[in-house]
Structure 1
Amino acid sequence: MAKSTSAEKYTPEAEKGLIVGVILRYGTPATSGRDKSLSCTQEDRAFSTLLVNVSGKFFEYTLKGEISPGKINSVEQNDMLRKVTFDPEVFFNILLPPIIFHAGYSLKKRHFFRNLGSILAYAFLGTAVSCFIIGNLMYGVVKLMKIVGQLSDKFYYTDCLFFGAIISATDPVTVLAIFNELHADVDLYALLFGESVLNDAVAIVLSSSIVAYQPAGLNTHAFDAAAFFKSVGIFLGIFSGSFTMGAVTGVVTALISF
């Protein structure tokens, strides 16, 4: 009985693991964890160019001079920030349209239009409810963190709503893949897929409307009915205009193709 137990323990996989462990332990060179301090001579004047040699690799640093705080915060006037900042217009106008086109082109139209009412309800009402629930929860957490002294920066209600609008844009790729493997009901698949297609567009327009909320007066974060209805109008205008443009483009393309 003892022999069978020992035979079960020492499997070929265990031996391979031991061999790999020995190779990693004794085959790789040990690295020193001690910090190295480098002494540099102090110069009276500042260098315009600094050349650093690190393990045979040379790095050149150029001194551009003093930068005002206004230029640091402005992406357009700061070359470094402009290089590392991704332009959202590139995503909205170049990367996003092919993604939405592929999603709509591969959609099963019969099941989509049969459940269009439920899909629109999930996309509009579900995204709006999710945005406000997440925004209110975030606002409560921010207030609680200020009370306990863990947060000193100012977070306004519009900032929390903006975060809620961004988080509400879900992408159920994994769930759809599981549904496809399990051969789930086609109506359930169409509901989830159609909601995910429209959910992204609703979240983008909703976040743009929240950013466009600008109350009149000194307090730009107070509630203003005129600014609220203006944001709602921007939301409806952008979404209806985009929907109309997409529908007209689809009809014209269908007439030209056939």
Structure 2
Amino acid sequence: MLELPAIILVFVSIFGFLNHKYLKLPLTVGLVLIALISGLGVLLIEAVVPSLQMSETIKNWLDEIDFNRTLMNGMLSFLLFAGALHVDLNNLMKAKLHVSILATFGVILSTFINGTCFYYLTQLFGFNIEYIYCLIFGVIVTPTDPVAVLGLLKRLKVPKRLEAIIGGESLFNDGVAVVIFSVLLTIAFGSSTGTAGMEQWMQMLF
């Protein structure tokens, strides 16, 4: 049961070392880039030696992970906690209006912009994907990683107020995005998830 998380941690550690040693990119960007290259490498190896069935093996491994529980009940809380440690509460309270607007209306606007662009891009390449699914993709890619954002802001030495606004928004946009995602998911699939999403939205507002 613990073998798969251990394998993932080993690969993340190796990728992190390669990024720190050679690429020297921001950690999140470096890990994503190396993961993409590794994925293409797996596909290339399988194309050359189909008998290995590497992609099928990896798919079976990943199918064992409950990503909803792993992300929502596990990783997300630690990510937000790590990000909140770097936020100055006094500066955040001074910028609460800007943070509130960006974390709510900003996320909604970004969802529609990302979803609409993705919709027309898929149409351009001949993929017939319904608009609602494009919006779901839009809300998935909208939230920013608070740890990566705050680390980058500190390296750039931006003004404290701007750091509080961007950092605060990056912390709160995850919760708003989860609610929007739940609502869009219900519209797309007609499950009871959206009702739960609306309840979360009302609890967050009131």
- What range describes the TM-score normalised by the shorter chain of this pair? 0.5 to 0.7
Q: Percent identity at matched positions? A: 25
**Secondary structure at 2:125's aligned position in 1?**
helix
Change (3 A) 1:90 1:243: farther
After TM superposition, the score normalised by the length of structure 1 is: 0.49
* More strand, by proportion: 1
Map 1:88-167; keep pairs closer than 5 Å. Answer: 88-146=68-126, 151=127, 154-167=128-141
Name the aligned partner's letter for residue 86 of structure 1: I
| Residue in structure 1 matching 2:63, options 81, 84, 87 | 84
After TM superposition, the score normalised by the length of structure 2 is: 0.60
Question: How much does 1:169 deviate?
Answer: 1.4
d(CA) in 1 for partners of 2:118 and 2:152? 31
Name the aligned partner's letter for residue 107 of structure 2: T
Residue by residue over 1:52-95, the C-alpha shift from the partner in whole angstroms, topping out at 9 and shown as x without a partner, is xxxxxxxxxxxxxxxxxxxxxxxxxxxx8476342121221122
Give 1:34's aligned residue.
none
d(CA) in 2 for partners of 1:125 and 1:200? 13
Name the aligned partner's letter for residue 115 of structure 2: G
Say if 2:179 and 2:197, in contact at 8 Å, map to a contact too: yes
Name the aligned partner's letter for residue 73 of structure 2: N
Structure 2 unmatched ranges of 5 or more: 1-58
d(CA) in 2 for partners of 1:81 and 1:94? 21
d(CA) in 2 for partners of 1:242 and 1:211? 19
Question: How much does 1:139 deviate?
Answer: 1.5
d(CA) in 2 for partners of 1:93 and 1:235? 16
Name the aligned partner's letter for residue 200 of structure 2: I
CA RMSD of aligned residues (A): 3.1
Question: How much does 1:242 deviate?
Answer: 5.5
* More helix, by proportion: 2
How many pairs were matched up? 147
d(CA) in 2 for partners of 1:116 and 1:122? 10
Question: How much does 1:205 deviate?
Answer: 2.1
Say if 2:132 and 2:188, in contact at 8 Å, map to a contact too: no
| Residue in structure 2 matching 1:210, options 181, 184, 192 | 184
Larger-gyration structure (1/2): 1
**Secondary structure at 1:204's aligned position in 2?**
helix
Change (3 A) 1:206 1:85: farther
Name the aligned partner's letter for residue 168 of structure 1: T
Name the aligned partner's letter for residue 206 of structure 1: I
d(CA) in 1 for partners of 2:62 and 2:77? 24
Change (3 A) 1:162 1:192: same
Matched, 1:179 2:153: yes
Structure 1 unmatched ranges of 5 or more: 1-79, 217-226, 245-258
Give 1:170's aligned residue.
144
Name the aligned partner's letter for residue 176 of structure 1: L
**Secondary structure at 1:107's aligned position in 2?**
coil
Name the aligned partner's letter for residue 69 of structure 2: E
Give 2:10's aligned residue.
none
Between the two structures, name the one with larger relative contact order (CA 8 Å, sep ≥ 6). Answer: 2
